[in-house]
């Protein structure tokens, strides 16, 4: 092959590569996992924003916190957007997932709710308080109780706290660990429960108006987009992040959730 033909072939290959990359980004469909409720609602807005740039999103809803990461790790999903950073970090460590966080989404401050009392002052000695039974959300709930002066935890336990780490409990609260999704349904039987905002909103509980104690919005529990590590530099990932962190999505979150969910971008 002479130099002229070699040059033509090189240009043709480069053009094909460019065309393939462009065609992929303009016609891709990716499956993104979310938990039902607010995360699914927000992703509908993300889907509309992404479609403007040729990225098609198929939303896959889950009813628990475990399966979206398992599905992503197995390749059933291309991304998920439902979990906060400490939970993601713990899942990757515990399950040896080859997953990476690629962008921030929203903060859903966790809160304490009750159908029996209107303020913390009315909480009786021996009251039953429900908390999520998964490691990071359980620790997060206990930290909220500590912030409110209801309990004291061992120094340094942070988000890994469990009821066994409680060293002071002046009201002798009885901590009941339940599946996060069941806490809303258990409210009638409990004196209070620390409930994730996604489940609270699904039950028509507004964290701003209906809770008796609420995590501050400067919480480290920012939610994120996760993908397989091998995919983190692919063009569609940048398009997904761009769509999620768009002004359209920001406006949707602010209007729809009225401060109970806060954009983290």
Question: What distance in Å separates the CA atoms of residue 262 and residue 265, rounded to the nearest whole number?
Answer: 9
Instruction: Identify the residue whose tokens are 């197995």.
Output: 74
CATH superfamily of 3-109+220-263: Periplasmic binding protein-like II (3.40.190.10)
Domain extents for the chain?
3-109+220-263, 111-214
Q: State the pLDDT at residue 158.
A: 82
Common-topology check for domains 3-109+220-263 and 111-214: yes
> Strands, DSSP E only, in the chain?
29-35, 56-62, 79-84, 99-107, 111-113, 128-132, 152-153, 166-168, 174-178, 192-195, 213-214, 222-228, 262-263
Q: State the pLDDT at residue 206.
A: 87
Q: Could you tell me which CATH number the domain at 111-214 has?
A: 3.40.190.10
Q: State the pLDDT at residue 47.
A: 98
Does the CA dihedral 78-80-85-90 come out positive or negative? Answer: negative
* Full pLDDT tens readout for the chain, 265 residues: 554 444 444 434 343 333 334 434 455 799 999 999 999 999 999 999 999 999 999 999 999 999 999 999 999 999 999 999 999 999 999 999 999 999 999 999 899 999 999 999 999 999 999 999 988 789 999 999 999 999 999 998 988 899 999 999 999 999 999 999 999 999 999 999 999 988 998 899 988 889 999 987 677 899 999 999 999 999 999 999 999 999 999 999 999 998 889 899 9
How far is C-alpha 102 from the chain's CA centre?
13
Q: State the pLDDT at residue 27.
A: 55
Q: Which two tokens stand for residue 136?
A: 């990071």
pTM, two decimals, is: 0.73
Q: State the pLDDT at residue 217.
A: 66
Q: State the pLDDT at residue 173.
A: 98
């Amino acid at each position: 092959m002479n130099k002229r033909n070699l040059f033509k072939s090189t240009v043709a290959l480069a053009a094909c590569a460019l065309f393939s990359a462009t065609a992929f980004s303009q016609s891709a469909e990716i499956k993104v996992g979310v938990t039902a409720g607010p995360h699914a609602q927000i992703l509908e807005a993300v889907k509309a924003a992404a479609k403007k740039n040729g990225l098609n999103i198929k939303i896959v809803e889950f009813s628990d916190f475990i399966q979206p990461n398992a599905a992503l790790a197995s390749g059933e999903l291309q991304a998920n957007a439902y979990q906060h950073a400490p939970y993601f970090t713990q899942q990757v460590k515990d399950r040896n997932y080859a997953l990476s966080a690629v962008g921030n989404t929203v903060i859903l401050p966790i809160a304490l709710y009750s159908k029996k009392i209107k303020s913390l002052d009315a909480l009786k000695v021996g009251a039953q308080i429900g908390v999520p039974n998964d490691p990071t959300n359980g620790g997060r709930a206990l930290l909220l109780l500590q912030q409110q002066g209801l309990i004291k935890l061992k120094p340094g336990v942070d988000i890994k706290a469990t009821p066994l780490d409680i060293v002071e409990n002046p009201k002798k609260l009885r901590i009941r660990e339940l599946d996060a999704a069941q806490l809303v349904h258990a409210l009638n039987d409990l004196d209070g429960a620390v409930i994730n905002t996604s489940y609270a909103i699904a039950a028509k509980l507004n964290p701003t108006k209906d809770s008796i104690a609420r995590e501050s919005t400067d919480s480290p529990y920012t939610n994120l987009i996760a993908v397989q590590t091998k995919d983190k530099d692919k063009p569609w990932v940048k398009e997904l992040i761009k769509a999620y962190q768009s002004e359209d999505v920001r406006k949707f979150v602010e209007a729809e959730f009225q401060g109970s969910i806060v954009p983290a971008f």
